[in-house]
Structures are given as C-alpha cells and as structure tokens.
Structure 1
Amino acid sequence: ARAVALRDESGEIVRWVGTNTDVEERRVAAMALAELNQTLEERVDRATRERDRAWKNSRDLQAVLDTAGVFQAVNDAWHTILGYRATEVVGRSHRDFIHPDDQPSSEQALAIATADELEPHENRYRHADGGYRWISWVAAPESGLVYASGRHITADKEAAVALEAAQEQLRQAQKMEAVGQLTGGVAHDFNNLLTVIRGSVELLARDDLTPERRQRYVSAIGETAERASRLTGQLLAFARRQSLTPEIFDVGESLNRLAEMVQTLAGSRLELVVELPREACTILADRSQFDTSIVNMAINARDAMAGEGKLTIGVGLVSGIPAIRGHAPVVGDFVAVTVTDTGAGIAPEDLYRIFEPFYTTKGVGAGTGLGLSQVIGFAKQSGGDIRVDSQLGAGATFTLYLPRASELAAETGPDRLPRGSTQGDGLCVLVVEDNEQVGQFATDALQQLGYQSVLASDGNAALDELETDSARFDVVFSDVVMPGMSGMDLAARIRERHPGLPVVLTSGYSHVLAQNGTHGFELLHKPYSIEQLSRI
C-alpha cells in the first residue's frame, strides 16, 4: 500500500490519500517459482547422483577422452576388467593399452568418435597381468570430449573360437565319413570289375576253350574296362577334376535331341514333358558331360517315381544363382535347366547328402550313388551350381545353373585332325609317355594299325627327337602328367618351334587340364581304345 499526507496551512495532517494494490497473485507466483527452483535443483542433483552411481557401478568400461585419445576419467570397472585403478589410466593415451595389431583400426575409430557416433568397434586392451582382453566399444562426442563405453567380450570371442573348432572337427569327421564311404564304394565297384577281368583272363589261358567262349571272355574284359572307365569319369566329375572339352551349344537343341533317349530310359508309364523357350539358351560347356547330367537327373527322377508319374524338363534364362547350401548368391547371366518329378520327394535329412558319391537312398543294387555327384561336379567345374527343392510326398525339382554364353564368347576350339581311315598309311607318330607299359602298348598298337611310331620317355627326349628331324613326324601324341616337363609345356614348345606339327594330348586325370582346359590341343581321354587311338 502507498499513501500521501495532505496538510493544512499550519502543517497539520488533515487526511491521507493513498492506494491499495492486491499482491496476492504475485506472492503466490513468487512462492511457486521458489518451489520450482528448489525442485529443479533437487532433480538435477538426483540425476547427477544417478549418473555418478551408474558410472561407478557399471560393469562395462566407462571412459572420457579428449580428441587426442588421452583419458580424462574412467570408472571402477577398469580395475575389475583390466586390473587398473583410475589413477593408473587417467592422463595416459589409449595407445598405451591397445594391442599393436589393433592400433590402426583403433585410431580410425577414435577419429570417427570425435565427430559422430561410433558403431561397435572391437579391439584388444592390455590387462595389468600382461595379457589382452577383447573389448567392444561404442562412443559419441560431446563438448569437445569423447564419451566411450566398452563391453568385455573375451568370453564371447573364446566361445566363438571354440565353436569354430568344434565345427571344424565336425567337418573333418563328415569329410572322413564321406572319404570312407567313397573308398568303400570305389573298392566295392572296382573289386566287382576286377573279378570279371581276372576271371576272364584265367579262363582265356585254358587250352580247351571253344572260339565262342574265348570271344565271350574277350568281350567281357572289354565291357568291364569300359564300365571302369565310366566309373573313374564319374568320380573325377564329382571331384571337379574331369578334363572337359567346352563348346558353345544351345541347351534347347540338346534337350530336343535327348528327349527320345530320356523317354526310353523313363519307360512308357512315365509322361515326359519338355518345355523349351523361344529364344536360344546357349552355354559354353562340355556337351557330353551336359548330356550325362541330364540323363542322370532323369534316371534319378524316374526311380523316385517308381517308373510312373510325370517328368518335366524346362529351360530358361535367369539373372543369377540364389543362395545354395550356405553359398552367397551369384549375380550374372545363367541358363537354368529344371528337372521336376512327381515322386515321393526327398527327406530333409537327405537333402544335404544326395550329392555325396556313393550315397543313395535306393535299395541294394538299385543305384550306384554316383549320378548326382557327377551332376554337381560338372556344374561346379563349369562355373555353375545345382539346387534341389523338395518336400516329402510332393516330388522334387532339380535346377542346374550354367553360365550363359553368347556367340561372341566362343573361343577357338582345338584343331581337329581329319577323320578318315583307321589305318595309319605310313604316318609317323612321336609317342611321348613316361609309363613304359603304356608307351609300349601305344607304339605297338599304332604299328599294328599301319603307323610308324617312335617312343620318347619324357618331354626333353621328345624335343631332342624333333630337333634331330622334325620333318619325319606327322603328329605328336603326348601324355599330360609326366615328371619334369609336362605334356602341356611340351605342346606349347612344339607349337612355338614347330607350328605346323599337330599335337594330341592324352590323360586320365590332370588338375591343369581340369582347371585351365586344353589350350586348343585335342585331347584323348585315358583309358582309350584301339579304335580311338587309330583316329589321332
């Protein structure tokens, strides 16, 4: 309240004139403000105590660093996890504690954390006992400092290593199981073949054989050797060590040609449907191995349907291979061949084993277990893959992916020798073979066929023969795998020194041929027949 006195002439106060102001609202507001300030102070104090408590009690490493990486503050977890008290850390650089191998990445992480939030970063910090502990860090900048939090993950790392070791042991055990199955299957099949050959040879030694029986035993040896050759070919295909002869061809045309054979193999109770696209689906692959793969998948489907059902073979262009058996997807142009049956389907536990050699779910004598292993080996070696989708009772679909090839991608194939009479007509062949028995057989057989032949035991001996008189030789027939100079190296030197002299290579197996091809030289696979040898 405020008032002013009014006085008369003598100075006496006559009356007071004043005003009254109601300040209740102001008083209430002032009290509320005071109460709010006190509440805010209490809240800030409580938040600070909670932060300090979280900092102190955290089981993770907490740290404040400057932009140079010098610690400004750390919590008690440093003593629990790394054995250091705060006084032993504050003022020191983070580099003093980090494993030398992790220094570069940690410097990059600090540079990121000074400007932005750091995604989890793992490194090793030295413990007070001299060992190292794995720490996973996150961090963020504020007011020119870096606030970091690190979680101790050494146990997780050790568990991951132990898991990987256990998985590797499992893989080794599975590999040994597969090897045991493979060797057992090979031994079984080859022992059967050897029984036929050995028995036929012993019977041929008898003097009382009729011509008919003698011819029967000779034929049995030849047929058994052919079956052995197919068996080794399937094994090499599975191991991706088959010597392929790639050529560009249209898959649709090849399937059209195979359709009649597949129908014959499938039987009259099985409906065959071949769905071909209008556009050409060309691939660069070994045509013979492709045909064998289709036949193997068709036979597998036929057996799954017990000879009765519907078999559908389709072809299409795709832009990649999806993730298969844990492998990442592959982007590119591929031709996809699908073989779908309406059979019983494949059990989930068998899906990952059906491509193993000699693994079969069929009854005894109903399958060799090599058909699908040949398919996956051919696909992988050709730059593709194979996928299987199946459910019990709902059939199965096998999808064979092979890299697409355009006509422009055609490579120059091996120069083919003219095919004519199987008689040598006096042509001279330089035979290069390190195996004495095989070399003697080849030269004797060539001479029986009317060729002249000269045997060289290795590449250097062959070059010496050519240096002496290369004009007398019409063709060089060389093994690929030989000690010292390989057949591939010899062929390359002959091409360089004697460009007009044809070279034919022969091999039962060569990782060089399997990986790199024949480099334009014609290849005759071992074991070869007399008829095949006559056409070199």
Structure 2
Amino acid sequence: MSPTYELVLRFIHPGDKEAVVRSHNKALAGKTPHNIKHRIVRSDGEIRTVHERAIVIFDETGKPVRMVGTVQDITEQEVIQETLRESEEKYRTLFDNAADAIVISDEEGNFLEVNRVACERFGYSKEEFTHMTLADINTSEYIDSIPEKIKQIKEKGQAFFETQAVRRDGTTFPTEVSSVKFSYRGKPAILSVSRDITPRKQLESQLLQSQKMEAIGQLAGGVAHDFNNLLTAIMGYSEMLKLKADLDKKHMNYLDEIIRSSERASSLTSQLLAFSRKQVLQPKIINANTLVANIEKMLCRLIGEDVDLSTVLDPELGVIKADPGQIEQVIMNLAVNARDAMLKGGKLTIETCNIYQDIEYCKAHTAASPGWYVMLTISDTGHGMDEETKKHIFEPFFTTKAKGHGTGLGLATVYGIVKQSGGHIWVYSEPDRGTTFKVYFPRVDIVENDKENSSEATKPLKGNETILIAEDEEVVRNLIFESLVIFGYDVIKANNGREAIEVFKKNADGSIHMLITDVIMPDMGGRELVENLEKQKTNLKVLYISGYTDNAIIHHGELDKGVAFLQKPFSPHVLAKKVREVLDAV
C-alpha cells in the first residue's frame, strides 16, 4: 500500500506537525524546497528525530503532481550534537564567568580568544585582543621571557610563573599565570589563567616589613642596653667628681658639659628603646581629645606661624589605655615631621574619631585585629613621599632631611610607642600631595580613677641598711657600690646571679635588707635570682635595674604589680632616692 499524505502526517510528532505542514505547503507552492528536521512517533511509541528533504515535481501547467525526497533518521547525531552544545555552553559559562582572566593564544603568542574578566582587567575589548599578542600585556622587563615560556609549555605541556602585567592605561600589577597546552579548533594552542595577586603581594610586603622592623628593634634594644650601661658610669662618676670640694670652676664646667652630653645621649637611647618597645610605660585611661587640647598651644609654637593648625575632634570619642606622656610624644613628633615637610607653610590637621575595623580590613592590614579603635589622624599639605621613602620612614636613623636637621629617630619613636601601646599606624602619601598618618589605639570601655600624690614630702636619702648588688657590668657595679657607700649604706657586690645566691647564703642571718639586680644577666637573670632568694627570705626588698626591659618583669610595657624598677642610665642621687623609696615602702 502506497503511503498517503494523511498517513505520513499521522507519524509526525504533534509538537512538530504544524511546522512540517507549513514546510510542505511552501514547497507545493513552488517557493522553497522541503527541508526540515522534526520528530516522529513510531508505532511502538518510540520518538525519533528525522531529517526530511524533498522536491516537488510539477506538470506542464505548473500543478504539483508528486513530491520526491528522503527521510534520514538522525536521532544519534542529534544526541551527539546536543551533548556538544551543552558542553560548549558549560565551557562558555565557566570561561566568561571565571574570577580570573583567561586567554587562549596560539604558539606564537597571538590571542585567539579572551574572557570577560581579561577585557575588564586589561582594558581592551575582545575585538582589540584579536589583533594583539602576549607581549602587549606584559611589562618590558618580562617580554623577553615570553618565547622561553612558550617553549616550556610546548615541551612540558604546562608552566606556572609570576609576571608583571600592564593595563591599557599603562598601570602595572603582579599576576600569577598557569598555562597549559591544548587543542583549539583543531590547532595547537595555549590556555592561560592569569590571577591578579596584588592583595597577596601587599600582605607579603607588610609581613616582610614587620619582620624587618622587629629585627631592627631587637638590634636597637641591644645597642641601647649596652650604651646605657656606659652612660650610667659616665654620668654617675661625673656627679661623684662634682662632690669633691677642691675642683675649680673650670674643671667643674668640664664636668657639667660631660653630664649634659650624657643626658643628650640618654635621650637618644630612650628613643631607641621606644622604637624597640623596651621602655617602661605608665598607662592610664585617657581621652585623646583632652591630650590634643592640652598641647595645642605648644604645637602652635612648635610648628610656627606659617603653618595653620586645625583640629577636628569627635565629641563622642572613646577612651584608650596608654601612657599620656608617650601619646603626647607621638603627636608632637608627627607634628614636627609635618612642619618640616611644609617649608613654605601649609596646613596641619589633627582629627580624632571612633572607628570599627572589620575582618575584611584586617585581612588587608596584617597589623590590625578586628574591633573598635580610637583613630588619631595627622595630615599635612607638604611635599609628600614616594613609595620607596614610605618603605623606610619608621626605620631608626632613616631621614630625608639635610645633615644636622634631625636624628632620624622621630618616626621610629612614634612607631615603637604605638606598637607598645597595642596600636598600629599607617601612612598615606604621594609626592606633592601631602601626607596623612593614621594612628589606631584599641578603645577600652573601663574607667579608672588614677589618683596621684603630687605633694610628696622630701625624704632623707641616707641609710644604714645592708644592700646586695648583682650586676654583671663591672663599671656599673662599682659605681652603684661607691654611690651607696657615700649615702651610708653597707654594700656587698656580686658579679652575677649565682654569686649573689652564694653571698646571700653566707648572710643567712637576714642581715641583707635589699637586693639591687640587673634584669638581664648571663646564665641567670634578675627574675630567676629573686625567685631563688625569696625562698630564703620572703620579705626581701628588691630593685630591678636595666638598660632595657624584657618580659621578665614587664608585660606590654607595664611593670608587674609590686615591682620596683630603675631605668639606666641614672645618677647617684636618683639611685639613692629610689633605694630609699623601696626600703621605706610598706
């Protein structure tokens, strides 16, 4: 039985029947050949896809008499093509929506295709990329290495490297590139994934800078410790010489000059100790607004008439726990630094505010921890700094000022004080755009009443108690011995901690009233010595001395409760006053 048109239509899928009929009608009308893909439903219910092609044969009058063609089952081909389409769509989705820039190039470095992120990151359109090469998006110092990288990819199949990329506007940024060899449209090609690693490089730089500052701080602290021992002897023996009655005025002036020079040297070592975070702080609950207001007149005199000082203070500012004298030092040092950057005058602005640093901020700033801070901002309109200068500004003795104008310790001191106070500092500056220092101190929610006894009566400095000295530096040990003997004390010397223990055992009758010990000594430090002696005498009076401090008696810059400490260098008079204070303490 020959199939009729109606019988054929019966097997066409209902969803495609209208399109098939329309194609038939166009062919019959002589407009177009019949050519259509559609589904059919077999008698067993299976759905297949076919490709129908047919032409219409017309008689002499133009009337269609028959349609001749083929019906090809293309079900399997359609499945394969659909799978390829889905795969292409998935690839295209991943390609265009990847977080990194992805580029495809041939083995000569010519771009074949790029994704959306590549266009956004480098500033070119996809059309422009097709006329560019890998050399167009790399800085000049990396261009010469491109052929070698391509050779490596061709030979090994992949490569992983870092490079410095360049955008359309000329700005550069570090990238991490992962490249693999693959086939693109039947030809050898290279697929490269480029990741902007600017945030990572910034964090690495911050970490390296922090480690460098820590190392310099350790060195500075050690130098200050040794120097303070020398200054103790110079200042101490000079003052003892002044007590001699037979010195004429000329030689007395010599001694005064020695003492003044020693005091200036002591000021330098104090700044080194501040930078290395080895100084003793006297923290209190303070309001930064009050500090700024208290020293505003002094700052005006300090910066001169050519610089306009303005303050913007948050009336709702929180409080911080810090040494007020040290925070004033931070403000003054930064103000002086700003003044020196505005030789022709300008504007200095001091601002305060509360600020919350979230986790995202802290990820980008390794020195910060999440939480509330009081921010102290000091800005100037001076000549600013370039990136290379900013890398070194907190290092001791680094200065851009002319010889004789500054020691290079001002900003190093600021850095140390801020760090020892639990805060952190950031600088923002560009050449000819001024400089802004932002100092952050942890905000506290407690209130303390600091009561000080300012009217302390003058006490006698002499005594007759027995004092044991443990000091490994001979010149300092002898100075303390001679100074205290002058003030009437019975003094016993020990070269180190272990010798002091033996001396104490020989005086087991309790005749030793007080121990003066250096904090840091070889083999046995002052803290360990005291713990040993307190087993023999629980009420032993102790005075620690040191050129710088460590965690033995000080934590976060604060002395442990009940600890008496005297910072080197000191004069015989200051020593005698402190000894009397410790002996008379209840």
Q: TM-score range by the shorter chain?
A: 0.5 to 0.7
Aligned-pair CA distance for 1:302: 1.4
Tell me which amino acid in the other structure corresponds to 2:576. Answer: S
Aligned to 1:385: 424
Aligned to 1:27: 8
Aligned to 1:217: 254
**Secondary structure at 2:50's aligned position in 1?**
helix
Residues 317, 353 of structure 2: 8 Å contact kept:
no
Shift of the 475–232 alpha-carbon distance from structure 1 to 2, 3 Å rule, reads same
In the alignment, which of 459, 464, 473 is matched to residue 435 of structure 1?
473
Shift of the 134–245 alpha-carbon distance from structure 1 to 2, 3 Å rule, reads farther
Tell me which amino acid in the other structure corresponds to 1:35. Answer: V
**Secondary structure at 2:438's aligned position in 1?**
strand
**Secondary structure at 1:489's aligned position in 2?**
helix
Shift of the 384–306 alpha-carbon distance from structure 1 to 2, 3 Å rule, reads same
Aligned to 2:272: 235
Shift of the 531–342 alpha-carbon distance from structure 1 to 2, 3 Å rule, reads farther
1:326-337 map, 5 Å: 327=366, 329-337=368-376
Q: Aligned partners of 2:276 and 2:347: how far apart in 1?
A: 32
**Secondary structure at 2:337's aligned position in 1?**
helix
Aligned to 1:448: 486
Shift of the 400–449 alpha-carbon distance from structure 1 to 2, 3 Å rule, reads farther
Shift of the 338–267 alpha-carbon distance from structure 1 to 2, 3 Å rule, reads same
Q: Aligned partners of 1:376 and 1:394: how far apart in 2?
A: 23
Aligned to 1:423: 461
Q: Is the aligned partner of 1:458 residue 2:527? A: no
Residues 251, 282 of structure 1: 8 Å contact kept:
yes
Shift of the 393–49 alpha-carbon distance from structure 1 to 2, 3 Å rule, reads closer
Aligned to 1:368: 407
Q: Aligned partners of 2:387 and 2:448: how far apart in 1?
A: 40
Q: Is the aligned partner of 1:259 residue 2:240? A: no
Aligned-pair CA distance for 1:134: 12
Aligned-pair CA distance for 1:224: 1.8
Q: Aligned partners of 1:405 and 1:470: how far apart in 2?
A: 49
Tell me which amino acid in the other structure corresponds to 1:25. Answer: E
Q: Is the aligned partner of 1:40 residue 2:81? A: no
Aligned-pair CA distance for 1:495: 5.8
1:173-252 map, 5 Å: 211-252=248-289
Q: Aligned partners of 1:262 and 1:470: how far apart in 2?
A: 58
Taking structure 2 as the reference length, the TM-score comes to: 0.55
Aligned-pair CA distance for 1:240: 3.1
Aligned to 1:519: 560
Shift of the 286–472 alpha-carbon distance from structure 1 to 2, 3 Å rule, reads farther
Aligned-pair CA distance for 1:279: 4.8
Aligned to 2:572: 530
Residues 507, 524 of structure 1: 8 Å contact kept:
yes
Which is worse superposed, 253-262 or 372-381? 253-262
Aligned-pair CA distance for 1:374: 1.4
Aligned-pair CA distance for 1:50: 10
Aligned-pair CA distance for 1:371: 0.8
Shift of the 48–295 alpha-carbon distance from structure 1 to 2, 3 Å rule, reads closer
Tell me which amino acid in the other structure corresponds to 1:489. Answer: E
Q: Is the aligned partner of 1:397 residue 2:397? A: no
Aligned-pair CA distance for 1:409: 8.2
Tell me which amino acid in the other structure corresponds to 2:74. Answer: T
Aligned-pair CA distance for 1:300: 0.6
Tell me which amino acid in the other structure corresponds to 1:218. Answer: L
Q: Aligned partners of 1:438 and 1:534: how far apart in 2?
A: 15
Aligned to 1:351: 390
Aligned-pair CA distance for 1:486: 1.2
1:449-488 map, 5 Å: 449-466=487-504, 468-469=507-508, 471-488=510-527
Shift of the 171–399 alpha-carbon distance from structure 1 to 2, 3 Å rule, reads closer
Which is worse superposed, 257-266 or 332-341? 257-266
Q: Please list the CA deviations of residues 11-41 of structure 1 after superposition, one character each: whole Å capped at 9, or x if unmatched.
A: xxxxxxxxxx994233145476262571222
Tell me which amino acid in the other structure corresponds to 1:529. Answer: S
Aligned to 1:108: none
Aligned to 1:292: 329
Q: CA RMSD in A?
A: 4.8
Q: Aligned partners of 2:402 and 2:341: how far apart in 1?
A: 12
Aligned-pair CA distance for 1:320: 2.8
Shift of the 495–269 alpha-carbon distance from structure 1 to 2, 3 Å rule, reads farther
Q: Aligned partners of 2:448 and 2:566: how far apart in 1?
A: 25
Aligned-pair CA distance for 1:265: 2.1
Aligned-pair CA distance for 1:376: 1.2
Tell me which amino acid in the other structure corresponds to 2:467. Answer: V
Tell me which amino acid in the other structure corresponds to 1:535. Answer: K
Which is worse superposed, 328-337 or 431-440? 328-337
Residues 424, 451 of structure 1: 8 Å contact kept:
yes
Aligned-pair CA distance for 1:308: 3.1
Q: Aligned partners of 1:233 and 1:350: how far apart in 2?
A: 25
Q: Which runs of 5+ in 1 are unaligned?
A: 2-20, 53-132, 136-150
**Secondary structure at 1:482's aligned position in 2?**
coil
Aligned-pair CA distance for 1:171: 6.4
**Secondary structure at 1:511's aligned position in 2?**
coil
Q: Aligned partners of 1:405 and 1:51: how far apart in 2?
A: 59
Residues 423, 450 of structure 1: 8 Å contact kept:
no
Q: Aligned partners of 1:242 and 1:435: how far apart in 2?
A: 20
Aligned-pair CA distance for 1:470: 6.9
Residues 474, 502 of structure 1: 8 Å contact kept:
yes
Aligned-pair CA distance for 1:386: 0.5
Taking structure 1 as the reference length, the TM-score comes to: 0.60
Shift of the 324–39 alpha-carbon distance from structure 1 to 2, 3 Å rule, reads closer
Residues 238, 374 of structure 1: 8 Å contact kept:
yes
1:22-171 map, 5 Å: 23-28=4-9, 30=11, 33=40, 35=50, 38-45=73-80
Q: Please list the CA deviations of residues 505-529 of structure 1 after superposition, one character each: whole Å capped at 9, or x if unmatched.
A: 1111243256565322122111122
Aligned-pair CA distance for 1:405: 3.1
Residues 510, 537 of structure 2: 8 Å contact kept:
no
Q: Aligned partners of 1:300 and 1:28: how far apart in 2?
A: 93
Q: Aligned partners of 1:319 and 1:494: how far apart in 2?
A: 48
